[in-house]
């Protein structure tokens, strides 16, 4: 069976699951179930089939499982957001359609994605400006103490979602060119392999940028996400685990220093360590998230059975249920098994992305696929880890599931780049190698 036929067959059960999810929600809200869930399922399947037909023509050899897995996450997100607020779900559906349009445009205009290598410094500058934009007067928006959003008239978005792609493109291009120097010039000091001092600059620059995000933008999630993605790329480029250890030590040392000297960073850490001290204040969100997950048990309370607001009031029982704590709501209503199922989908996407990196022949494609996959997987870990109190709770979104236009659009652009790399790698891997002719005497 061809790759595209496997993709087509995988999309059908995704649409069926979305229909079943909407049916379960309607069953709780209405005494009589109509055919609206079938209509929603048909619309979703039609949009996915249109995207599939485009991929069949544009990228016939691309990975057949990435798009169905992403469609499954999007279906989960649409159902959960609809369960929270019907208006937000309609907005999310519109963003989903727009994201697919930009997904198709990215594939159409970036078929030769290696052109990105030539503009790496321009792309890096764009990425940095995007990160700084939330602190610009008149543009930036402060949410829960962090500068995450930008508002241009009626349009609001989170620039860090697009910046992560720019930073990964730059790092993949830079490390592809300088990885030999980092390996050859390395020295062993006290049993630890250190990169050459004159080429240690990029590590210091990225570390400094991560600390800058932590302090100036007040965005702990993006800080961790960018630096972890850089360390993953550094390891793929050089194969030296000691570089990763050094980088993690630097990040932890910087995070510890700022957590003890910068008030807002210290507050985040204090809430994480002991949220019960401020149970009615800043610790309320994380505590309610933990209680909601515990209340779900193994199998959950069922769709639309969890409480989001306090009965009889508009006060939030689970704050930011459509964004920061949507995973807690999933566990509450679908149980531990449902939450583990969502994590399994992210793991499968990460596995397919790293497989693409392994299959790619040229260094830039390999590093770009590894970097995009890493930043995607780390983003999922950061928000799920924050909701489960593994790490401090941050404001990043759960990819393809949380409500938010900028998140779903940026992640579909990321998916488009992965499929472009996959199509070339799989096509070249399937091409027969030319027979070597015997040497003439």
Which residue from 267, 240, 265, 244 is spatially nearest to 254, judged by alpha carbons? 265
**Please, what sign has the CA dihedral across residues 51, 364, 212, 251?**
positive
The SS3 call for residue 389 is coil
Apex 329 CA angle, 322 and 384, nearest 5: 85
197 alpha carbon, distance to own chain's centre: 33
> Look-up: residue for tokens 């696929």?
369
- Cite the beta strand spans of 161-268 per DSSP E: 187-189, 192-194
pLDDT score, position 26: 86
The number of angstroms, rounded, from the C-alpha of 97 to the middle of its chain's C-alpha atoms is 18
Is residue 234 within 8 Å of residue 244, measured between CB atoms? yes
Region at 138 (left for phi over 0; alpha for psi -120 to 50; beta for the rest): left
The predicted-structure confidence for 157-214, as pLDDT tens digits, reads as follows: 788 889 889 989 988 988 888 777 766 666 666 555 666 666 666 656 766 676 676 6
The average pLDDT across 81-92 equals 91
Q: What pLDDT, in 10s, does the model give residues 291-309?
A: 999 999 999 888 777 777 6
Residues 235-282 pLDDT 10s:
888 887 877 888 888 888 877 887 787 777 788 888 898 999 988 888
Mean pLDDT lowest among 82-96, 145-159, 162-176: 145-159
pTM here is 0.91
The answer for residues whose C-beta is within 8 angstroms of residue 312's C-beta and 6 or more apart is none
Residue 417's nearest CA partner among 377, 378, 367, 379 is 367
Rounded to whole angstroms, how far apart are CA atoms 179 and 196? 11
- For residue range 25-75, what is the model confidence (pLDDT) as tens digits? 888 776 556 788 899 999 999 999 999 999 999 999 999 999 999 999 999
Task: Provide the β-strand partners of residue 187.
Answer: 194
CA torsion 276→277→279→283, rounded to 10°? -90
pLDDT at 441 over 70: no
**Residue range 20-32, pLDDT digits in tens:** 999 888 887 765 5
Q: Is the dihedral of CA 418, 420, 126, 140 positive or negative?
A: negative
Residue bearing tokens 């639309």: 304
Question: 378: which residues sit within 8 A by CB, 6+ positions away?
Answer: 224, 225, 228, 229, 232
């Amino acid at each position: 069976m061809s790759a595209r036929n496997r993709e087509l067959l995988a999309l059908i059960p995704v649409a069926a699951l979305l229909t079943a999810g909407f049916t379960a929600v309607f069953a709780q809200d209405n005494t009589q179930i109509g055919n609206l869930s079938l209509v929603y399922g048909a619309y979703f399947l039609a949009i996915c089939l249109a995207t599939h037909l485009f991929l069949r023509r544009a990228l016939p050899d691309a990975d057949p499982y990435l798009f169905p897995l992403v469609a499954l996450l999007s279906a989960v997100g649409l159902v959960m957001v609809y369960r929270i607020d019907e208006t937000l779900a309609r907005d999310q559906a519109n963003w989903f359609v727009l994201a697919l349009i930009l997904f198709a445009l990215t594939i159409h205009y970036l078929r030769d994605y290696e052109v990105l290598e030539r503009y790496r410094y321009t792309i890096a500058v764009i990425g940095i400006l995007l990160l700084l934009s939330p602190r610009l007067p008149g543009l930036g928006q402060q949410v829960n103490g962090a500068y995450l959003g930008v508002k241009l008239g009626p349009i609001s978005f989170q620039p860090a979602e697009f910046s992560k792609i720019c930073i990964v493109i730059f790092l993949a291009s830079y490390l592809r060119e300088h990885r030999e120097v980092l390996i050859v010039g390395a020295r062993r000091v006290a049993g630890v392999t250190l990169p050459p001092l004159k080429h240690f600059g990029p590590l210091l620059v990225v570390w400094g940028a991560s600390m800058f995000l932590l302090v100036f933008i007040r965005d702990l999630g993006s800080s961790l996400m960018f630096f972890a993605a850089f360390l993953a790329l550094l390891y793929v480029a050089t194969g030296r685990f000691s570089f990763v250890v050094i980088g993690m030590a630097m990040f932890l040392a910087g995070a510890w220093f700022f957590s003890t000297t910068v008030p807002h960073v210290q507050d985040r850490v204090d809430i994480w360590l002991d949220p019960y001290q401020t149970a009615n204040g800043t610790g309320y969100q994380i505590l309610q998230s933990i209680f909601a997950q515990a209340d779900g048990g193994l199998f959950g309370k069922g769709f639309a059975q969890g409480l989001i607001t306090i009965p009889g009031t508009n006060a939030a029982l689970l704050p930011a249920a459509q964004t920061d704590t949507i995973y807690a709501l999933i566990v509450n209503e679908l149980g531990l098994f449902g939450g583990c199922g969502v994590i399994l989908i992210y793991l499968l996407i990460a596995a397919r992305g790293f497989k693409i990196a392994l299959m790619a022949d040229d260094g830039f494609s390999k590093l770009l696929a590894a970097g995009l996959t890493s930043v995607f997987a780390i983003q999922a870990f950061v928000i799920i880890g924050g909701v489960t109190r593994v790490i401090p709770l941050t404001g990043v979104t759960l990819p393809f599931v949380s409500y938010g236009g900028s998140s779903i659009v940026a992640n579909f652009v990321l998916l488009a780049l992965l499929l472009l790399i996959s199509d070339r790698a799989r096509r070249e891997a399937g091409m027969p190698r030319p027979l070597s002719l015997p040497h003439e005497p």
